[in-house]
Structure 1
């Protein structure tokens, strides 16, 4: 599963866009799985970086972006193993929060997601922030879990999104 993603991470944006257009949901699911890897190269340098590139180039249309948000904010990702401390589940939660925050950052500029989706994301990220107990930074042999930093980034994206100001 990792080698095709590693190869894709090395390619230029045109080839990444082509790969996404050919099998969008399959690629998104592979990237979601990569966020859970207790390996800094896989979750950060490959999965997270590819998500960022796809988002920045506008490759993910609004309906698929809404689907991706639903997946990220679910019990399978942002809330996977919530409450556990000291195991590898923190990688999936932490990097899901980071991607969710990045989606909010991009949406703040482009405004493609429906208001209700953004409000749900903001509420989910706030709930996650209050529930996360594993605050480890660097995990020897595995990489950066960074749950506190990634949660802070996601909360900042929530606060800076125009929908948050409208909801006050």
Structure 2
């Protein structure tokens, strides 16, 4: 570990021991800039238990101004590296991307109570998060030695915050759900770390909030199918497993949701066909 990372780690351990309060005249935002600079470090304790957890406390507890939060949001969106290094299926840069998207989710969560982001900014965030969900190729969950990458789950957390914002239209909700569908319907990787549960949460909250009516949800669900089912490759079986796990999770989440009966019946039919 580099000297600067060691210094930051020692500092954040002291912050944690002090109930996430800073002492000695340091400014929360200045420390936050240090943390965002190191958001993709390979040390899982520093990245997850210290940097992310400190951000969680400071954002939720209101340690930043609206302007500072928007600056942190923009830095995090830039860190998604949408246009370079994302084509490699497995590389260490994934941690920078997937923990940056968690910071986006935290800031959106804070916005939902404080309403400090304008509609133009929210649309920018929606478009970039959806694009990231579509483009990310590294689907690993827990990575030995380095901890959680979990791109599908972390991005679903940000999409879940977006789907609960009140400025979007039907087409925006469909963009979000279609990005979920694209990430579910992959055959090169089988999700083993409950990514399906995190992605289902987005759909569940969309249905509960009645952002889209049942007929549109059913139309969206009909696309969960396997092309050329006679081509029984390994990718075919992986795709089938991912779709079945997702639909089963969604089915059980909706059992006690009022007005979801038609959607549940559609899911039952899809599972029977699989």
Q: TM-score scaled by structure 2?
A: 0.55
Match of 1:124 in 2: 128
1:166 to 1:115, Cα distance in 2 relative to 1, 3 A = farther
**Root mean square deviation of aligned Cα:** 2.1
| Superposition deviation, residue 87 in structure 1 | 1.3
Match of 2:18 in 1: 11
Offset from partner CA, 1:54-78 (integer Å, 9 cap, x none): 111111101111111110001xx12
Answer yes or no: is the 8 Å Cα contact 2:73–2:104 preserved in 1: yes
Secondary structure of the 2:34 match is helix
Structure with max Cα Rg = 2
Answer yes or no: is the 8 Å Cα contact 2:29–2:64 preserved in 1: no
1:10 to 1:165, Cα distance in 2 relative to 1, 3 A = farther
Residue in structure 1 matching 2:118, options 105, 114, 128: 114
Offset from partner CA, 1:83-129 (integer Å, 9 cap, x none): 22221101010011111012111211111222222221111111111
Q: TM-score scaled by structure 1?
A: 0.87
Residue in structure 2 matching 1:35, options 39, 62, 72: 39
Structure 2 unpaired stretches of 5+: 1-7, 173-274
Any runs of at least 4 consecutive aligned residues in structure 1 with deviations exceeding 3 A, and if so which? Answer: 165-168
The structure richer in helix per residue is 1
Q: Which moved more, 1:137-146 or 1:31-40?
A: 31-40
Structure 1 unpaired stretches of 5+: none
Answer yes or no: is the 8 Å Cα contact 1:105–1:161 preserved in 2: no
Residue in structure 2 matching 1:54, options 58, 79, 91: 58
Answer yes or no: is the 8 Å Cα contact 2:16–2:54 preserved in 1: yes
What is the number of residues matched between the two proteins? 163
